[in-house]
């Protein structure tokens, strides 16, 4: 299982290739972006657990990349380690003011960088800020978003679960199931990129439970796009025969073969118009009930 996902944003090919090879050997999944705008696109498509970000880039600088990530609700939680040739106090302060989590100066000790990456990922997970499976916001960040809704107007929530994941795990194993969770997180981000806004929020509550916070006017369209994208591509996680027959064969407790439908999403849609709501428990209970109705 991967130790985590790292996005290296570095236009020096020698350094980026070295870091990619080194961290892959340490068990990490590593992506590389040579330009700042490419880094923003890569982050939206597949959430990294940490970004190693060079300040000097050929298009927009690392400070601007950091600023855009921090002002986008879906990427604001991702830890950032600045990587730069500069060693001036003002540069360090500027990076930290923008929300960077750490700072290391070239030439660097790659073992020190490895420890900083490891500790940064661990700190985010321990603080319940990031899901280790998907890289999406988790725990406290989701609770903060729900509490903010009590003071907001015209909001919408999609409460999403994956039906059939338990049977899939039984047939294909836990690692394949983790791939499905990451796939689902990517689907949510891609759908929000297509029809949502930078103020929309995507989170991984845990297990197969996800949440999207958006505007009340976007709930229905966003739900349809998410469902269509999932249904279109979920078959790639199954073997050819299962895809063709349209169902999965697993064993029940007695050892008998049973047919289980391919995975699908149950999506509960809730808006502020369904209220009023006085606390977040009322919101979560109403969202759960909407999802149960979608499962029927």
Domain of 265, CATH number, reads 3.30.70.270
Let me know whether 210 and 153 are in one domain.
yes
pLDDT on residue 200: 95
Q: Which residues of 183-209 are buried (b: 16+ CB within 10 A; e: fewer)?
A: bbbbbbbebbeeebeeebbbbbbeebe
The pLDDT mean for the chain works out to 92
174 HSE (CA, 13 A, CB side): 4
Domain boundary among 104, 126, 148: 126
What pLDDT, in 10s, does the model give residues 181-236?
A: 999 999 999 999 999 988 999 999 999 999 999 999 999 999 999 999 999 999 99
Q: Are residues 286 and 144 in the same domain?
A: yes
pLDDT above 70 for 14: yes
The residue range of the domain holding 56 is: 5-126
Mapping DSSP onto H, E and C, the string for the chain reads CCCCEEEEECCCHHHHHHHHHHHHHCCCEEEEECCHHHHHHHHHHCCCCEEEEECCCCCCCHHHHHHHHHHCCCCCCCCEEEEECCCCHHHHHHHHHCCCCEEEECCCCHHHHHHHHHHHHHHHHHCCCECCCCCCECHHHHHHHHHHHCCCCCEEEEEEEEECHHHHHHHHCHHHHHHHHHHHHHHHHHHHHHHCCCCCEEEEEECCEEEEEEEHHHHHHHHHHHHHHHHHHHHHHCCHHHHHHCEEEEECCCCCEEEEECCEEEEEEEEHHHCCCCCHHHHHHHHHHHHHHHHC
pLDDT score of 88: 64
Domain end point (choices 78, 103, 126): 126
Q: What confidence tens digit (pLDDT) does each residue in 70-120 have?
A: 988 889 899 999 987 766 667 777 777 888 888 888 888 999 999 999 999
The CATH number that applies at residue 21 is 3.40.50.2300
How many alpha carbons lie under 13 Å from residue 178 in its C-beta half-sphere?
Answer: 12
Asked whether the predicted pLDDT for residue 255 surpasses 90, the reply is no
For the whole model, what pTM was predicted?
Answer: 0.80
For residue 61, being part of any structural domain is answered with: yes
What is the reported pLDDT for 99? 84
Domain boundary among 62, 97, 126: 126
Q: Which residue has the higher pLDDT, 52 or 89?
A: 52
| Share above pLDDT 90 across residues of the chain, in percent, rounded to a whole number | 75
Domain co-membership, 241 together with 266: yes
- Same structural domain for residues 196 and 263? yes
* Alpha-carbon gap, residue 249 to 252, rounded angstroms: 10
Q: Is the pLDDT of residue 268 over 70?
A: yes
Domain count, the chain: 2
Residue carrying the six token digits 């068990």 = 27
For residue 272, the model assigns a pLDDT of 96
Instruction: Note if the bond before 135 is cis, omega within 30 degrees.
Output: no
């Amino acid at each position: 299982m991967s130790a985590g996902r790292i996005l290296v944003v570095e236009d020096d090919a020698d350094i980026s290739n070295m870091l990619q090879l080194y961290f892959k050997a340490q068990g990490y999944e590593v992506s590389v972006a040579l330009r700042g705008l490419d880094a923003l696109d890569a982050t939206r498509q597949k959430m990294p657990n940490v970004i190693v970000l060079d300040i000097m880039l050929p298009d927009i600088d690392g400070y601007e990349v950091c600023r855009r990530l921090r002002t986008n609700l879906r990427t604001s939680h991702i830890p950032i380690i600045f990587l730069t040739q500069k060693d001036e106090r003002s540069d360090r302060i500027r990076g930290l003011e923008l929300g960077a989590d750490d700072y290391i100066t070239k030439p660097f000790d790659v073992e020190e960088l490895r420890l900083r990456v490891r500790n940064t990922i661990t700190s985010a997970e321990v603080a319940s800020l990031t899901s280790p499976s998907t890289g999406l916001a988790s725990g406290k960040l989701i609770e903060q978003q729900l509490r903010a809704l009590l003071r907001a107007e015209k909001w919408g929530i999609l409460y999403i679960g994956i039906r059939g994941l338990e049977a899939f795990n039984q047939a294909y194993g836990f690692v394949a199931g983790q791939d499905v969770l990451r796939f689902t997180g990517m689907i949510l981000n891609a759908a929000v990129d297509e029809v949502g806004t930078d103020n929309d929020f995507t989170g991984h509550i845990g297990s197969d439970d996800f949440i999207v916070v958006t505007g009340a006017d976007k709930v229905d369209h966003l739900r349809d796009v998410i469902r269509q994208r999932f249904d279109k591509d979920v078959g790639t996680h199954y073997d050819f025969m299962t895809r063709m027959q349209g169902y999965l064969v697993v064993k029940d407790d007695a050892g008998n073969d049973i047919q289980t439908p391919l995975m699908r999403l149950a999506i509960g849609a809730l808006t502020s118009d369904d209220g009023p709501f006085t606390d977040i428990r009322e919101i979560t209970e109403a969202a759960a009930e909407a999802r149960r109705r979608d499962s029927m």
